Amino acid sequence: MKQKKGRVFSGARPTGRQHLGNYLGAIKNYVALQDDYECVYCIVDIHALTTMETTLALRQNTYEMALDWLAAGIRPDETIMFVQSHVPQVTELHTYLSMVTPLGKLTDLPTFKEKVRLQPQNVNYGLVGYPVLMAADIVLYRTNLVPVGIDQAPHIEFTREVVRSFNYRYQTDVLIEPEMKATETPKVIGIDGQQKMSKSLDNHIELAATPEETLQRVMMMVTDPQRMRRTDPGNPDVCNVFSFHKIFSTAEEVEMVNLECRRAGIGCVDCKRLMAKNLNESLQPFRERRSELAQNPDQVWDVLQEGAKRARAIAEETMQGVRRAIGLP
RNA sequence: AGGCCAGUAGCUCAAUUGGCAGAGCGCCUGUCUCCAAAACAGGAGGUUGUGGGUUCGAUUCCUGCCUGGCCUGCCA
Protein backbone atom coordinates (compact mmCIF):
# COMPACT_ATOMS: atom_id res chain seq x y z
CA MET A 1 0.00 0.00 0.00
CA LYS A 2 1.40 3.35 -1.01
CA GLN A 3 1.86 6.33 1.29
CA LYS A 4 -1.42 8.21 1.80
CA LYS A 5 -1.70 11.96 1.65
CA GLY A 6 -3.88 12.39 4.71
CA ARG A 7 -7.24 11.55 6.13
CA VAL A 8 -10.53 12.17 4.40
CA PHE A 9 -13.87 12.18 6.19
CA SER A 10 -17.33 12.32 4.73
CA GLY A 11 -20.79 11.43 5.97
CA ALA A 12 -24.16 10.81 4.44
CA ARG A 13 -27.58 10.30 5.94
CA PRO A 14 -29.05 6.80 5.74
CA THR A 15 -31.44 7.26 2.85
CA GLY A 16 -31.63 3.63 1.85
CA ARG A 17 -31.03 2.46 -1.68
CA GLN A 18 -28.81 4.90 -3.48
CA HIS A 19 -29.65 6.46 -6.83
CA LEU A 20 -27.71 7.88 -9.75
CA GLY A 21 -27.57 11.30 -8.13
CA ASN A 22 -26.00 9.84 -5.01
CA TYR A 23 -23.53 7.89 -7.08
CA LEU A 24 -22.41 10.61 -9.46
CA GLY A 25 -22.48 13.28 -6.79
CA ALA A 26 -20.73 11.50 -3.95
CA ILE A 27 -20.12 7.77 -3.97
CA LYS A 28 -18.03 7.78 -7.14
CA ASN A 29 -15.81 10.36 -5.53
CA TYR A 30 -15.63 8.40 -2.27
CA VAL A 31 -14.36 5.41 -4.19
CA ALA A 32 -11.74 7.41 -6.09
CA LEU A 33 -10.34 9.10 -2.99
CA GLN A 34 -9.43 5.75 -1.50
CA ASP A 35 -6.41 5.56 -3.79
CA ASP A 36 -4.69 8.60 -2.33
CA TYR A 37 -6.16 9.09 1.11
CA GLU A 38 -6.98 7.23 4.27
CA CYS A 39 -10.76 7.44 4.13
CA VAL A 40 -13.40 7.48 6.82
CA TYR A 41 -16.97 7.24 5.57
CA CYS A 42 -19.84 7.53 7.97
CA ILE A 43 -23.54 6.77 7.80
CA VAL A 44 -24.86 9.61 9.91
CA ASP A 45 -27.91 8.15 11.60
CA ILE A 46 -27.87 10.66 14.47
CA HIS A 47 -28.16 13.51 12.01
CA ALA A 48 -31.09 11.74 10.44
CA LEU A 49 -33.00 12.02 13.72
CA THR A 50 -33.20 15.80 13.38
CA THR A 51 -35.74 15.49 10.60
CA MET A 52 -37.15 12.00 11.00
CA GLU A 53 -40.30 11.36 12.93
CA THR A 54 -40.17 7.60 12.71
CA THR A 55 -37.13 5.37 12.92
CA LEU A 56 -38.89 2.27 11.60
CA ALA A 57 -36.86 2.22 8.39
CA LEU A 58 -33.59 3.40 9.90
CA ARG A 59 -31.97 0.00 10.19
CA GLN A 60 -33.04 -1.14 6.73
CA ASN A 61 -31.96 2.15 5.16
CA THR A 62 -28.59 1.92 6.84
CA TYR A 63 -28.10 -1.59 5.55
CA GLU A 64 -29.18 -0.79 1.99
CA MET A 65 -26.90 2.21 1.84
CA ALA A 66 -23.91 0.31 3.20
CA LEU A 67 -24.60 -2.43 0.68
CA ASP A 68 -24.62 0.09 -2.17
CA TRP A 69 -21.40 1.70 -0.98
CA LEU A 70 -19.62 -1.61 -0.82
CA ALA A 71 -20.95 -2.72 -4.19
CA ALA A 72 -19.84 0.60 -5.66
CA GLY A 73 -16.27 -0.04 -4.64
CA ILE A 74 -15.64 1.10 -1.08
CA ARG A 75 -12.85 -1.17 0.19
CA PRO A 76 -13.52 -1.91 3.86
CA ASP A 77 -10.09 -3.42 4.40
CA GLU A 78 -8.50 0.01 3.96
CA THR A 79 -11.37 2.43 4.37
CA ILE A 80 -13.20 2.87 7.64
CA MET A 81 -16.91 2.62 6.99
CA PHE A 82 -19.22 2.84 9.99
CA VAL A 83 -22.43 4.08 11.57
CA GLN A 84 -22.26 7.39 13.42
CA SER A 85 -24.13 6.26 16.53
CA HIS A 86 -21.72 3.36 17.00
CA VAL A 87 -19.10 5.87 18.11
CA PRO A 88 -20.69 7.70 21.05
CA GLN A 89 -17.64 9.93 21.48
CA VAL A 90 -19.07 12.16 18.76
CA THR A 91 -21.93 13.26 20.99
CA GLU A 92 -19.50 14.12 23.76
CA LEU A 93 -17.37 16.21 21.42
CA HIS A 94 -20.52 17.83 20.07
CA THR A 95 -21.35 19.01 23.58
CA TYR A 96 -17.91 20.53 24.15
CA LEU A 97 -17.91 22.24 20.77
CA SER A 98 -21.37 23.65 21.45
CA MET A 99 -19.86 25.69 24.30
CA VAL A 100 -17.70 27.67 21.89
CA THR A 101 -20.44 28.12 19.31
CA PRO A 102 -22.39 31.39 19.19
CA LEU A 103 -26.06 30.71 18.56
CA GLY A 104 -26.30 33.43 15.96
CA LYS A 105 -23.82 31.67 13.71
CA LEU A 106 -26.05 28.61 13.66
CA THR A 107 -29.30 30.38 12.94
CA ASP A 108 -27.59 32.36 10.17
CA LEU A 109 -26.63 29.29 8.17
CA PRO A 110 -28.64 28.86 4.96
CA THR A 111 -29.35 25.18 5.58
CA PHE A 112 -30.95 25.98 8.91
CA LYS A 113 -33.15 28.68 7.42
CA GLU A 114 -34.19 26.26 4.72
CA LYS A 115 -35.13 23.57 7.24
CA VAL A 116 -37.15 26.04 9.29
CA ARG A 117 -39.06 26.85 6.14
CA LEU A 118 -39.60 23.20 5.25
CA GLN A 119 -40.48 21.82 8.67
CA PRO A 120 -41.65 24.69 10.89
CA GLN A 121 -43.47 22.19 13.11
CA ASN A 122 -40.23 20.48 14.04
CA VAL A 123 -37.54 23.04 14.69
CA ASN A 124 -35.75 21.27 17.48
CA TYR A 125 -32.59 21.93 19.44
CA GLY A 126 -30.76 19.20 17.56
CA LEU A 127 -31.63 20.80 14.25
CA VAL A 128 -30.06 24.08 15.30
CA GLY A 129 -26.98 22.23 16.47
CA TYR A 130 -26.71 20.12 13.33
CA PRO A 131 -23.55 21.89 12.10
CA VAL A 132 -21.96 21.45 15.53
CA LEU A 133 -22.51 17.71 15.34
CA MET A 134 -21.14 17.77 11.82
CA ALA A 135 -18.08 19.63 13.03
CA ALA A 136 -17.65 17.00 15.75
CA ASP A 137 -17.83 14.25 13.12
CA ILE A 138 -15.08 15.83 11.08
CA VAL A 139 -12.81 16.85 13.90
CA LEU A 140 -13.17 13.66 15.94
CA TYR A 141 -11.25 11.68 13.33
CA ARG A 142 -8.56 14.37 12.98
CA THR A 143 -9.62 14.91 9.41
CA ASN A 144 -7.40 16.76 6.96
CA LEU A 145 -9.75 16.92 4.03
CA VAL A 146 -13.51 16.99 3.61
CA PRO A 147 -14.82 16.34 0.12
CA VAL A 148 -18.15 18.10 -0.22
CA GLY A 149 -20.29 19.89 -2.72
CA ILE A 150 -20.16 23.66 -2.84
CA ASP A 151 -23.45 23.86 -0.93
CA GLN A 152 -21.67 22.50 2.14
CA ALA A 153 -18.98 25.18 2.06
CA PRO A 154 -20.58 27.26 4.85
CA HIS A 155 -20.59 24.19 7.11
CA ILE A 156 -16.93 23.48 6.57
CA GLU A 157 -16.06 27.10 7.16
CA PHE A 158 -18.16 26.90 10.31
CA THR A 159 -16.22 23.82 11.40
CA ARG A 160 -12.95 25.67 10.93
CA GLU A 161 -14.17 28.57 13.02
CA VAL A 162 -15.32 26.27 15.78
CA VAL A 163 -11.94 24.55 15.81
CA ARG A 164 -10.16 27.90 16.05
CA SER A 165 -12.47 29.01 18.85
CA PHE A 166 -11.92 25.81 20.77
CA ASN A 167 -8.17 25.81 20.34
CA TYR A 168 -7.94 29.48 21.30
CA ARG A 169 -10.18 29.24 24.35
CA TYR A 170 -8.34 26.28 25.80
CA GLN A 171 -4.94 27.34 24.47
CA THR A 172 -4.36 24.09 22.66
CA ASP A 173 -3.83 22.69 19.19
CA VAL A 174 -5.49 19.38 19.88
CA LEU A 175 -8.13 19.90 17.19
CA ILE A 176 -7.16 19.96 13.53
CA GLU A 177 -8.66 22.51 11.18
CA PRO A 178 -9.93 20.57 8.15
CA GLU A 179 -9.49 21.70 4.57
CA MET A 180 -12.43 21.65 2.24
CA LYS A 181 -12.13 19.85 -1.04
CA ALA A 182 -14.76 21.28 -3.32
CA THR A 183 -15.86 18.44 -5.49
CA GLU A 184 -17.26 19.31 -8.87
CA THR A 185 -20.53 17.60 -8.15
CA PRO A 186 -22.35 17.32 -11.42
CA LYS A 187 -25.89 18.42 -10.70
CA VAL A 188 -27.91 15.36 -11.58
CA ILE A 189 -31.41 16.32 -12.64
CA GLY A 190 -34.16 13.82 -11.96
CA ILE A 191 -36.44 12.15 -14.47
CA ASP A 192 -38.86 15.06 -14.15
CA GLY A 193 -36.25 17.09 -15.99
CA GLN A 194 -36.67 19.88 -13.46
CA GLN A 195 -35.31 19.27 -10.00
CA LYS A 196 -32.24 17.66 -8.53
CA MET A 197 -32.58 13.91 -8.42
CA SER A 198 -33.83 12.86 -5.02
CA LYS A 199 -35.66 9.99 -3.45
CA SER A 200 -38.21 12.19 -1.71
CA LEU A 201 -39.25 13.76 -5.02
CA ASP A 202 -39.52 10.29 -6.55
CA ASN A 203 -37.68 11.46 -9.63
CA HIS A 204 -34.74 9.11 -9.13
CA ILE A 205 -33.31 5.97 -10.68
CA GLU A 206 -31.99 3.45 -8.20
CA LEU A 207 -28.59 1.92 -8.81
CA ALA A 208 -29.96 -1.44 -7.72
CA ALA A 209 -33.01 -1.33 -9.98
CA THR A 210 -33.43 -4.13 -12.49
CA PRO A 211 -32.67 -3.36 -16.16
CA GLU A 212 -36.41 -3.50 -16.84
CA GLU A 213 -37.23 -1.04 -14.06
CA THR A 214 -34.44 1.19 -15.26
CA LEU A 215 -35.76 1.22 -18.82
CA GLN A 216 -39.22 1.96 -17.47
CA ARG A 217 -37.94 4.95 -15.51
CA VAL A 218 -35.91 6.18 -18.47
CA MET A 219 -39.00 6.05 -20.68
CA MET A 220 -40.74 8.26 -18.12
CA MET A 221 -38.06 10.95 -18.45
CA VAL A 222 -39.15 14.38 -19.58
CA THR A 223 -37.64 15.35 -22.94
CA ASP A 224 -37.61 18.51 -25.02
CA PRO A 225 -41.24 19.72 -24.73
CA GLN A 226 -40.96 21.42 -28.11
CA ARG A 227 -40.48 18.10 -29.86
CA MET A 228 -44.08 17.01 -30.19
CA ARG A 229 -43.88 14.60 -33.11
CA ARG A 230 -41.38 12.05 -34.26
CA THR A 231 -40.69 14.22 -37.30
CA ASP A 232 -40.01 17.35 -35.24
CA PRO A 233 -36.37 18.28 -34.73
CA GLY A 234 -35.30 18.21 -31.08
CA ASN A 235 -32.90 20.18 -28.95
CA PRO A 236 -30.54 18.00 -26.90
CA ASP A 237 -29.33 21.06 -24.98
CA VAL A 238 -32.61 21.20 -23.08
CA CYS A 239 -33.13 17.44 -22.86
CA ASN A 240 -32.12 15.65 -19.67
CA VAL A 241 -31.82 12.35 -21.52
CA PHE A 242 -28.96 13.86 -23.46
CA SER A 243 -27.12 14.84 -20.28
CA PHE A 244 -27.27 11.17 -19.27
CA HIS A 245 -25.95 10.18 -22.67
CA LYS A 246 -22.95 12.39 -22.03
CA ILE A 247 -22.22 10.35 -18.91
CA PHE A 248 -23.05 6.80 -19.97
CA SER A 249 -22.64 6.66 -23.75
CA THR A 250 -19.53 6.61 -25.93
CA ALA A 251 -18.29 9.80 -27.55
CA GLU A 252 -19.45 8.51 -30.93
CA GLU A 253 -22.93 7.79 -29.63
CA VAL A 254 -23.19 11.18 -27.98
CA GLU A 255 -22.20 12.83 -31.24
CA MET A 256 -24.68 10.71 -33.15
CA VAL A 257 -27.55 11.49 -30.76
CA ASN A 258 -26.68 15.16 -30.76
CA LEU A 259 -26.81 15.23 -34.54
CA GLU A 260 -29.72 12.91 -35.25
CA CYS A 261 -32.01 14.38 -32.59
CA ARG A 262 -31.59 17.84 -34.09
CA ARG A 263 -32.59 16.65 -37.55
CA ALA A 264 -35.22 14.16 -36.40
CA GLY A 265 -33.08 11.28 -37.56
CA ILE A 266 -33.84 9.38 -34.37
CA GLY A 267 -36.83 9.65 -32.08
CA CYS A 268 -36.95 10.00 -28.31
CA VAL A 269 -37.79 6.33 -27.93
CA ASP A 270 -34.65 5.31 -29.83
CA CYS A 271 -32.64 7.81 -27.86
CA LYS A 272 -33.98 6.58 -24.52
CA ARG A 273 -33.50 2.90 -25.41
CA LEU A 274 -29.87 3.49 -26.27
CA MET A 275 -29.25 5.50 -23.11
CA ALA A 276 -30.98 2.90 -20.93
CA LYS A 277 -28.95 0.13 -22.53
CA ASN A 278 -25.69 1.94 -21.82
CA LEU A 279 -26.82 2.83 -18.33
CA ASN A 280 -27.71 -0.77 -17.59
CA GLU A 281 -24.41 -2.00 -18.99
CA SER A 282 -22.41 0.38 -16.89
CA LEU A 283 -24.35 -0.59 -13.77
CA GLN A 284 -24.16 -4.31 -14.41
CA PRO A 285 -20.92 -4.97 -12.48
CA PHE A 286 -22.29 -2.96 -9.58
CA ARG A 287 -25.51 -4.94 -9.58
CA GLU A 288 -23.68 -8.25 -9.68
CA ARG A 289 -21.49 -7.31 -6.73
CA ARG A 290 -24.53 -6.06 -4.88
CA SER A 291 -26.58 -9.22 -5.20
CA GLU A 292 -23.50 -11.22 -4.26
CA LEU A 293 -23.03 -9.16 -1.11
CA ALA A 294 -26.73 -9.34 -0.36
CA GLN A 295 -26.39 -13.10 0.04
CA ASN A 296 -24.79 -12.43 3.41
CA PRO A 297 -26.36 -9.46 5.17
CA ASP A 298 -24.36 -10.29 8.28
CA GLN A 299 -21.20 -9.60 6.34
CA VAL A 300 -22.32 -6.03 5.71
CA TRP A 301 -23.07 -5.54 9.39
CA ASP A 302 -19.69 -7.03 10.23
CA VAL A 303 -18.01 -4.44 8.02
CA LEU A 304 -19.86 -1.70 9.90
CA GLN A 305 -18.98 -3.19 13.28
CA GLU A 306 -15.35 -3.52 12.35
CA GLY A 307 -15.35 0.03 11.00
CA ALA A 308 -16.88 1.31 14.21
CA LYS A 309 -14.20 -0.45 16.22
CA ARG A 310 -11.43 1.25 14.27
CA ALA A 311 -13.28 4.57 14.36
CA ARG A 312 -13.72 4.36 18.13
CA ALA A 313 -9.99 3.85 18.60
CA ILE A 314 -9.23 7.09 16.74
CA ALA A 315 -12.11 8.87 18.44
CA GLU A 316 -11.14 7.91 21.96
CA GLU A 317 -7.58 9.01 21.33
CA THR A 318 -8.82 12.41 20.17
CA MET A 319 -11.17 12.71 23.12
CA GLN A 320 -8.45 12.06 25.68
CA GLY A 321 -6.58 15.02 24.25
CA VAL A 322 -9.75 17.09 24.19
CA ARG A 323 -10.70 16.38 27.81
CA ARG A 324 -7.17 17.16 28.93
CA ALA A 325 -7.11 20.39 26.91
CA ILE A 326 -10.39 21.57 28.42
CA GLY A 327 -9.09 20.80 31.89
CA LEU A 328 -11.80 18.43 32.95
CA PRO A 329 -10.80 16.85 36.25
C1' A B 1 -46.87 25.14 35.83
C1' G B 2 -50.74 28.65 34.02
C1' G B 3 -53.25 31.64 29.91
C1' C B 4 -54.43 32.04 24.62
C1' C B 5 -54.55 29.92 19.53
C1' A B 6 -54.27 25.84 16.16
C1' G B 7 -54.75 20.41 14.45
C1' U B 8 -59.73 18.34 8.19
C1' A B 9 -57.00 14.08 1.63
C1' G B 10 -49.72 13.34 0.41
C1' C B 11 -49.40 19.30 0.58
C1' U B 12 -52.07 24.30 1.06
C1' C B 13 -56.70 25.25 2.90
C1' A B 14 -62.70 25.44 2.60
C1' A B 15 -67.37 23.64 4.95
C1' U B 16 -73.45 29.21 6.21
C1' U B 17 -77.28 29.43 13.33
C1' G B 18 -75.11 21.60 14.62
C1' G B 19 -77.77 18.65 8.89
C1' C B 20 -74.77 13.75 3.13
C1' A B 21 -66.89 16.49 4.49
C1' G B 22 -65.17 19.84 -0.50
C1' A B 23 -61.53 22.71 -3.80
C1' G B 24 -56.58 23.68 -5.79
C1' C B 25 -51.94 21.33 -6.34
C1' G B 26 -49.86 16.41 -6.34
C1' C B 27 -50.87 11.07 -7.47
C1' C B 28 -53.16 6.95 -10.73
C1' U B 29 -55.96 5.75 -15.42
C1' G B 30 -57.62 7.13 -20.39
C1' U B 31 -57.44 10.40 -25.04
C1' C B 32 -53.57 12.74 -27.82
C1' U B 33 -48.10 12.36 -29.04
C1' C B 34 -42.26 8.20 -31.60
C1' C B 35 -41.53 8.79 -25.54
C1' A B 36 -42.19 12.33 -22.09
C1' A B 37 -44.33 17.12 -21.26
C1' A B 38 -48.66 20.24 -22.08
C1' A B 39 -54.01 20.10 -22.81
C1' C B 40 -58.56 17.54 -22.08
C1' A B 41 -61.61 13.56 -19.64
C1' G B 42 -62.12 10.30 -15.62
C1' G B 43 -60.53 7.99 -10.88
C1' A B 44 -58.45 6.83 -6.20
C1' G B 45 -57.36 8.90 -1.61
C1' G B 46 -60.49 10.82 5.13
C1' U B 47 -61.85 6.96 12.01
C1' U B 48 -62.07 15.61 10.46
C1' G B 49 -55.22 14.64 16.21
C1' U B 50 -57.31 11.22 20.10
C1' G B 51 -60.72 9.19 24.37
C1' G B 52 -65.38 10.55 26.52
C1' G B 53 -70.01 13.58 26.80
C1' U B 54 -74.57 16.57 25.00
C1' U B 55 -77.87 15.66 20.62
C1' C B 56 -82.43 12.25 16.38
C1' G B 57 -77.75 13.92 14.22
C1' A B 58 -71.05 16.76 15.97
C1' U B 59 -65.53 18.94 11.63
C1' U B 60 -68.91 22.45 14.34
C1' C B 61 -70.97 22.56 21.29
C1' C B 62 -68.71 20.67 26.35
C1' U B 63 -64.64 17.83 28.57
C1' G B 64 -59.89 14.69 29.40
C1' C B 65 -55.40 13.69 26.80
C1' C B 66 -51.60 14.25 22.65
C1' U B 67 -48.90 17.51 19.26
C1' G B 68 -47.33 22.39 17.63
C1' G B 69 -47.14 27.90 18.16
C1' C B 70 -47.36 32.56 21.09
C1' C B 71 -47.36 34.81 26.14
C1' U B 72 -46.53 34.77 31.58
C1' G B 73 -44.33 32.45 35.68
C1' C B 74 -40.90 28.96 38.18
C1' C B 75 -36.40 25.98 38.34
C1' A B 76 -31.42 24.89 36.53
Q: Domains in chain A, please, with CATH?
A: 7-188+296-326 (3.40.50.620), 211-291 (1.10.240.10)
Q: Who's near A149: CB < 8 A, 6+ residues apart? A: A25, A26, A182, A183, A185
Residue scoring higher pLDDT (A123 or A190)? A190
pLDDT at A247 (0 to 100): 96
Nucleotide nearest to A123 (CA to C1'): B68
Structure confidence at residue A305 as a pLDDT band (50, 70, 90): very high
> A275 near A245, Cβ under 8 Å?
yes
Please give the DSSP secondary-structure letter assigned to residue A122: G
Q: Measure CA to C1' and name the residue nearest B7.
A: A121
In whole angstroms, give the CA distance from residue A42 to residue A146.
12
3-state secondary structure (DSSP) of residue A206: strand
Nucleotide nearest to A191 (CA to C1'): B36
Nucleotide nearest to A231 (CA to C1'): B34
Class of residue A52 by CB neighbours under 10 A (exposed 0-12, middle 13-18, buried 19+) = middle
In whole angstroms, give the CA distance from residue A136 to residue A184.
25
Nucleotide nearest to A219 (CA to C1'): B35
**Protein-to-nucleotide distance from the CA of A116 to the C1' of B13, whole angstroms:** 21
**Protein-to-nucleotide distance from the CA of A121 to the C1' of B68, whole angstroms:** 6
Structure confidence at residue A119 as a pLDDT band (50, 70, 90): confident
Residue A264 region by backbone torsions, left for phi larger than 0, else alpha for psi between -120 and 50, else beta = left
Which protein residues have any CB–strand B distance under 7 A? Answer: A 120-123, 193, 219-225, 227-232, 234, 267-270, 272
Q: Residue A181: enclosing H or E segment and its boundaries?
A: strand A179-182
- Residue A185 pLDDT > 80, yes or no? no
Please give the DSSP secondary-structure letter assigned to residue A19: B
Q: Who's near A136: CB < 8 A, 6+ residues apart? A: A90, A91, A93, A94, A97
Distance of CA A206 to the CA centre of its chain: 14
- Mean pLDDT computed over A88-102: 95
**pLDDT, averaged across chain A:** 94
Structure confidence at residue A1 as a pLDDT band (50, 70, 90): low
**Protein-to-nucleotide distance from the CA of A53 to the C1' of B16, whole angstroms:** 38
- The sheet carrying A179-182 orders its strands as A80-83, A38-43, A7-12, A145-148, A179-182
**Protein-to-nucleotide distance from the CA of A239 to the C1' of B21, whole angstroms:** 43
**pTM for the predicted model, two decimal places:** 0.92
**Protein-to-nucleotide distance from the CA of A256 to the C1' of B30, whole angstroms:** 36
**Protein-to-nucleotide distance from the CA of A37 to the C1' of B25, whole angstroms:** 48
Nucleotides in B strand less than 7 A from protein CB: 33-38, 67-69
Residue scoring higher pLDDT (A278 or A123)? A278
Nucleotide nearest to A241 (CA to C1'): B36
Q: Residue A141: enclosing H or E segment and its boundaries?
A: none
- Residue A2 pLDDT > 70, yes or no? no
pLDDT digits (tens, 9 = 90+) for A16-73: 999 999 999 999 999 999 999 999 999 999 998 887 767 778 899 999 999 999 999 9
pLDDT at A56 (0 to 100): 77
- Mean pLDDT computed over A136-156: 94
In whole angstroms, give the CA distance from residue A5 to residue A131.
26
- Mean pLDDT computed over A84-103: 95
Between the two ends of chain A, the Cα-to-Cα distance in Å is 41
What percent of chain A clears pLDDT 70, i.e. is strictly above it? 99
Active site residues of A: 115, 196, 199
